[in-house]
Amino acid sequence: MLAAQFAAVFIALYVGHSVGDHWVQTSCQSATKGKAGWTGRLSCTRHVLGLTLTKAVVLAAVVLVLDLHVTAAGLTIGLALDAMTHWWADRRSTLAWLAKVTGKAEFYSLGTGSHPAHPVTAKGEPAATLGTGAYALDQSFHHLWLLVAALIIATV
């Protein structure tokens, strides 16, 4: 039963994350959350509040429909930890630093004009790509913490 509860919580958090990070987040938040100073901090905070609310709504629906037994402490700790780690990564300079110290700086720049092997158009200008290394590392980091949050929510 515990494994099924964990699986249901993780799926709910994963779906809530995807919706909150891509549909609920505004273009302004996406563009400014990594800026230095209070402008970036406040924008990132607004994004994470909307994201966490989205996760909570999706999770609440799953908990109610499947009659899962979760505690207020587990929910509070799990969602708070997820929100804090999401905010940390979305400040951008922090995740870029982590990529650098773990030897992933080149991958982080993949898909951008600063990557040594970036794609170019016939005119030699940087070509558009479908994704970047920074985005892949960002989402991977978030997924790790979704797993940790789901473990906490399902077991505390």
Residues 121-130 pLDDT 10s? 678 776 666 6
Give the Cα separation of 59 and 81 in Å (integer): 15
Structure tokens at 40: 């970036």
pTM of the entire predicted model: 0.86
Q: How many helices (H) and strands (E) does the chain have?
A: 7, 0
- The structural domain count of the chain equals 1
Q: Average pLDDT, stretch 47-70?
A: 97
Residue 128 sits in which domain range?
2-155
Q: How far apart are CA 82 and CA 130, in angstroms?
A: 27
| Closest C-alpha among 98, 130, 97, 93 to residue 112 | 130
Q: For tokens 């590392």, name the residue.
A: 137
